Amino acid sequence: MKLELRGITKRFGSLTANNNVNLVVNPGEIHCLLGENGAGKSTLMNILYGLITPDEGQILIDDEVVTIVDPKDAVNHGIGMVHQHFMLIPVFSVADNVILGSEPVKPWPVIDYKAATARLLELANEYGFEIDDPQATVEDLPIGAQQRVEILKALSHEASVLILDEPTAVLTPQETDAFMVILRSLKASGKSIIFITHKLREVLAIADVITVMRLGDVVGVTTPKETSERGLATMMVGRDVNFVVEKRPATLGDVALKVQNLYVEDARGLTSVKNVSFEVRAGEILAVAGVQGNGQTELVEALTGMRHPSSGNVLLHDVDLAGQSVRHFLDAGVGHVPEDRQRYGLIPGLSLSDNLVLDQLDDPRFRNRFGRNLKAIKAHGAQMRESFDIRAQSEESPVGALSGGNQQKVVMARELSRELKVLICSQPTRGLDVGSIEFMHRQIVDIRDSGVAVVIVSSELDEVFALGDRIAVLYDGEIQAIVPPTTSREELGLLMAGAGAAKVTQ
């Protein structure tokens, strides 16, 4: 099926999200759509999927104009979409989720679960998906598997064009590899894929055609052969981008954060951080590397007061904070940029300015005789919007309306505008585009240079190498080794896979 978008224009108030956009996707093609946060990719895809009506322009399928006013039309025309945030029912089984909306009924109104399961397995076989147990509850599955369910769901509606909105943003490196295999098999069976991503390496590895958008315009159409990471980044951002932030060697101060023999239990009562000890000096970045799910979440929670360790100490300038409240940690000067910013970092319905002071309600800057100083809070919001280049209509806009990258900027801006001694950053650039990553990295290095001890938890090796003055590798809740950033990728990879500290350090 050939899909064409012709002259699509969409305006939101004074903002032009799509300006006369043209896009052609041929059958069996993996078409990457690339652009910064807020470049208009999601708007374009929502138009194609019938969630937004364009002001101008046409959608053509096999050279015939079609009208798509809601997702049902899109599905009927063979367009399937896998959203960044999955649209699955967590408590339903895999099979139930896939048949939802098109349940096989025989005899009416009884759902024929056997036929449903058979259909699911048949589909999975056809495209080489691994489905261990069609009756497994979706919420128990790892993210990568949930995503496969989401794709299967689209395929079960006989989609011939699949829109994948930042599918790899939530995946671990291993899951991403498996995902690429799936993409290739889909392509081989003649499906067209529109793949939205920020990760240039993935684009170059898998794309047939690349369309780059910037500020609502298509700024270029290219192929992996004709371009490079640097070329793509320049097209996206409109200027040269530094992939690795320049940073001077760390000027080390006193030990700011000292973690001693820390043990932390997770929500199920299993010990997921085991005997972890490390020190971070003022003016230094410690990067904690590791595959997701090796105790990072619990470690960060223990370092920010969200979870009380079962034993061990968290010393901030020699004061033990273990077992204290979150408020205590915040007041002691611990900054926290949580991994899941939408869930843990922001109140979506409140304005940008309010979200910038969530944990600083007692700050005298934002108070006056009558309580919260709305004027000062608004002025602070405007100033932060300016200095962090947060793209929002105004500082009064609800933060939930912002794109992911801008939301992350809000969280970062909030933490950096406080008096900090230690900054704990979890996946600081997950889901961000190259321009924003560069900006975030710059901010993190700057705060380091101002004498703050920084702990970065990241599963992106590029990020770990770019930022870390030292790299601690976490595997199965234990620190395998703390190594310098000159360590090779292979060695670090081995450590992350649990190859053992002894082998490397000796």
Tell me which residues touch other proteins (CB under 8 A).
304-306, 325-327, 329-331, 336, 338, 343-350, 354, 358-359, 361-362, 367, 370-372, 374
Q: How many whole angstroms separate alpha carbon 322 and alpha carbon 302? A: 8
The residue among 366 and 475 lying less far from other proteins, judged by its C-beta, is: 366
Are 422 and 452 contacting, i.e. CB atoms less than 8 angstroms apart? yes
The residue among 119 and 336 lying less far from other proteins, judged by its C-beta, is: 336
Q: How far is the CB of 411 from other proteins (least distance, A)?
A: 9
Beta bridge partners of 312: none
Are 457 and 430 contacting, i.e. CB atoms less than 8 angstroms apart? no
The DSSP call for residue 93 is: B
Q: How many whole angstroms separate alpha carbon 456 and alpha carbon 155? A: 38
The residue among 100 and 358 lying less far from other proteins, judged by its C-beta, is: 358
The residue among 338 and 435 lying less far from other proteins, judged by its C-beta, is: 338
Q: How far is the CB of 44 from other proteins (least distance, A)?
A: 19
Q: How far is the CB of 345 from other proteins (least distance, A)?
A: 6
The residue among 236 and 264 lying less far from other proteins, judged by its C-beta, is: 264
Q: How far is the CB of 349 from other proteins (least distance, A)?
A: 5
Q: How far is the CB of 4 from other proteins (least distance, A)?
A: 28
CA nearest to 317, candidates 333, 299, 305, 335: 333
Q: How far is the CB of 358 from other proteins (least distance, A)?
A: 4
Kindly report the length of the chain: 506
Q: How far is the CB of 164 from other proteins (least distance, A)?
A: 26
Q: How far is residue 102 CA from its own chain's centroid?
A: 31
The DSSP call for residue 366 is: G
Distances from the Cα of 405 to the Cα of 180, 389, 392, angstroms: 24, 11, 11
Q: How many whole angstroms separate alpha carbon 156 and alpha carbon 115? A: 13
Number of H helices, E strands in the chain: 17, 22
The residue among 367 and 391 lying less far from other proteins, judged by its C-beta, is: 367
Determine phi and psi for 132, rounding to 5 degrees.
-70, -45
Distances from the Cα of 295 to the Cα of 265, 292, 302, 319, 355, angstroms: 9, 8, 11, 24, 28
The residue among 247 and 421 lying less far from other proteins, judged by its C-beta, is: 421
